[in-house]
Amino acid sequence: MCEIEVVGAAIVNGNKVLAAQRSATMKSPLKWEFAGGKVHKNETHEAALKRELREELGIDVEVNDFIAMGSSVVEDKKINLFVYSAKIRDGVPKRSEHAKIMWVDIDKIMELDWAEADLPACEKLLDLFEYN
């Protein structure tokens, strides 16, 4: 089975986190996720996350602490997702690839239908912000 390394950003602003809904044409359609994408060969997680967020949301970020790792199997591929906390340095998030993006109260994140690999990071955020 092929493994793919992916990074995602939990961009927190106060008591809210930025969530992105996958488009209807993507794998795991209309599931919510932390924005990010595939790590290229010889690319660090930080560099990949900065590149992906610039491409997907039009923002520059500061990548901070590792939050959690989650995995899922999609078709014949194992997706290993590494989620980091991040802070917007420049720009306002704008949707390009996703169906929707929105700021969600951290204590309400489990009300969304998250992609399987993102769930460990959701649970960790709830713990970090003492909502569990």
Model confidence pTM above 0.85: yes
Contacts of 24 (CB under 8 A, 6+ apart): 30, 99
- Sequence ranges of the domains in the chain: 2-128
Question: What pLDDT does residue 131 have?
Answer: 60
Distance in angstroms (rounded) separating the CA atoms of residues 88 and 95: 15
Helix (H) or strand (E) holding 123: helix 119-128
Per the structure block, which two tokens stand in for 9?
């950003």
Please give the mean pLDDT across all residues of the chain: 94
For residues 4 and 74, the answer to whether their CB atoms sit within 8 Å is no
Phi then psi dihedrals of residue 120, to 5 deg: -60, -35
Q: How confident is the model at residue 13 (pLDDT cuts 50, 70, 90)?
A: very high
CATH number of 2-128: 3.90.79.10
Question: What pLDDT does residue 86 have?
Answer: 97
